[in-house]
Amino acid sequence: MIIMIRTRFAPSPTGYLHIGGLRTALYNFIFAKKNNGQFILRIEDTDQKRLVRGAAEKIIKSLNSFDINFDEGPNLNEKYGPYYQSKRLYIYHKYCCKLIENKSAYLCYVDDNQNLKPENNIDKSLSIINQQDTKSRFIVKFKVPSIKNFNTFDDLRGKVVFDLSLIDDFIIIKSDGFPTYHFANVVDDHLMKISHVIRGEEWLSSLPKHMLLYNSLEFNLPHFIHLPLLLNPDHSKLSKRQGDVDVDKFIEKGYLKSAVLNFIALLGWHPDNDREIFNILDLIENFSIPRIQKSGSVFDIKKLNWMNSEYIKSMDLDTLFEVSQEFFKKEIDIKNTTKLGKAINFFKQRSSTLLELNDSILPFYSEPNNLKEEVLTYVNEKKSQDILKFYLKSLSIIECFDIELSDRLIKDIAEKFNVKGKEIFFPLRGVLYGSLNGPDLFTIIDILGLDESKRRIEQYIK
């Protein structure tokens, strides 16, 4: 029987969308699209104490900005909605009653000291849950059977065996009336007809609980795929608590969304060749579950920088100009497209991020009024002053500056003052570009123009 492929991303709105969540969403999205299926977004907001105001909206906005668009979800095609779990309490209570009726779960009263007292009367339990008795404070627990070897199945790992004697009876309805993650997750995945549960490896240990719930509720099991952990370079787990994993922060630092998606797609999945650059359509075409690795994948920022630089290099000038504008400081004159175009064309081959591109271009628009001490050290030396004067005089008698003339001037300086290398370039680059390091002199003057170049040199001649 052919089944409709339906995947889901189900974040908790306790903060921003982190890089691991984006990878999970991406894998679910491209797997569904590859198989002409549907991708669902569900907001798992059952942990009311940890909710962050506006977090759900921010997560949705982040997903949309990366063009990971859901087919069903909050305020969109709510066929199996609501898609906020906090609005589905009546559904969870219904299935909780079913578990109590078939003796797979039991109600416990909770006193002021948090002590638990089981209720053995099924009818009484159902009455309490159905709010006919509202005075009682209670939780509901799932009864874990004593099975030594309980077989589960993961599409990546195959059979995974758990010892249920090590798992205590677990809560499915909390004292605030909300379901736990495990219970709501299973009920919703079934009712929303999720065919493939693609999630992080950290949930593998929860698989026996989920399968017990599926079996007791007489639900058909979906396919389970647990993605490898994302690791730091020291192989510790990449965590939200470490800060720099907010996907929006990467965009603010000048990483292209297409490059970020490409990068995280390769954190755990690899094609059947050495290819590394994939746009979203390429990912949809090439992605497959069997090529997901089981071992953890290291988040290497150097690899992301390289990949982002490759995307920047491949962009045409107009597109790069458009995506870079939000990073341009106010000093940059975007109306002078000739000057800015020259600067972008030069630095696009040398920049890892759009922020780095902006920082490299900015000296062409900012007056080098306050040179760093290391630059002034070279500029103020007598030999450097002689070089600056000679260079300024040479520029003043020419009308057209080209690469051949630039090379000849450097050669003339070397011969006249018996200098070479940094003795020539450091003072000249320092007053023209504001730094000892940067573009070659011809490029600097070609971008600045002769008049601006002469003015900058003259400013530092004593």
Kindly indicate the confidence band of residue 366, based on its pLDDT and cuts at 50, 70 and 90.
confident
Count Cβ atoms below 10 Å from residue 170 Cβ, excluding itself. Answer: 17
Count Cβ atoms below 10 Å from residue 355 Cβ, excluding itself. Answer: 15
pLDDT at 240: 63
The count of C-alpha atoms lying within 13 angstroms of the C-alpha of 175, restricted to the half-sphere facing its C-beta, is: 13
pLDDT at 241: 58
More reliable by pLDDT, 374 or 193: 193
For every residue of 266-303, DSSP letters joined together read TTTB--SSS-----HHHHHHH--GGGB-SS-EE--HHH
As given in the structure block, the two tokens for residue 148 are: 């030594």
Count Cβ atoms below 10 Å from residue 396 Cβ, excluding itself. Answer: 11
**The residue to which tokens 């573009």 are assigned:** 439
pLDDT per position as a tens digit, 391-442: 999 999 988 889 999 999 999 999 999 999 999 999 999 999 999 999 999 9
The fold of the 88-226 domain, in CATH, is: Rossmann fold (3.40.50)
Strand partners, 116: 110
Strands 105-110 and 138-142, bridge-based pairing: antiparallel
Give the whole-angstrom CA distance, residue 371 versus residue 394: 24
The arithmetic mean of pLDDT across residues 381-394, rounded, is 94
Q: What is the mean pLDDT of the chain?
A: 94
pLDDT at 297: 94
Q: C-alpha dihedral over 87, 89, 95, 98, to 10 degrees? A: -150
Kindly indicate the confidence band of residue 133, based on its pLDDT and cuts at 50, 70 and 90.
low
The arithmetic mean of pLDDT across residues 52-67, rounded, is 95
Asked if the domains at 88-226 and 367-459 fall in one CATH topology, the answer is no
Kindly indicate the confidence band of residue 372, based on its pLDDT and cuts at 50, 70 and 90.
confident
pLDDT per position as a tens digit, 332-341: 999 999 999 9
The arithmetic mean of pLDDT across residues 232-258, rounded, is 86
More reliable by pLDDT, 25 or 242: 25
Give the whole-angstrom CA distance, residue 254 versus residue 320: 12
- The amino acid at 459: Q
**pLDDT > 60? residue 260:** yes
pLDDT at 429: 95
What percent of the chain lies above the pLDDT cut of 70? 98
CB burial of residue 240 (10 Å; 0-12, 13-18, 19+)? middle
Domain ranges of the chain: 88-226, 367-459
**pLDDT > 60? residue 124:** yes
Tell me how far the alpha carbon of residue 396 is from its chain's centroid.
52
Q: Which positions are annotated as active-site residues?
A: 240
Strands 6-9 and 38-41, bridge-based pairing: parallel
Residue of 363, 461, 453, 365 lying closest to 409 (CA atoms) = 453
Strands across the sheet containing 105-110: 116-119, 105-110, 138-142, 170-173
Before 368, cis peptide (omega within 30)? no
- Domain 367-459 carries which CATH code? 1.10.10.350
What percent of the chain lies above the pLDDT cut of 90? 84
SS3 75: coil
The arithmetic mean of pLDDT across residues 144-163, rounded, is 95
pLDDT at 368: 74
Kindly indicate the confidence band of residue 454, based on its pLDDT and cuts at 50, 70 and 90.
very high
CB burial of residue 458 (10 Å; 0-12, 13-18, 19+)? middle
The arithmetic mean of pLDDT across residues 20-30, rounded, is 98
SS3 78: coil
Kindly indicate the confidence band of residue 361, based on its pLDDT and cuts at 50, 70 and 90.
very high
pLDDT at 132: 57
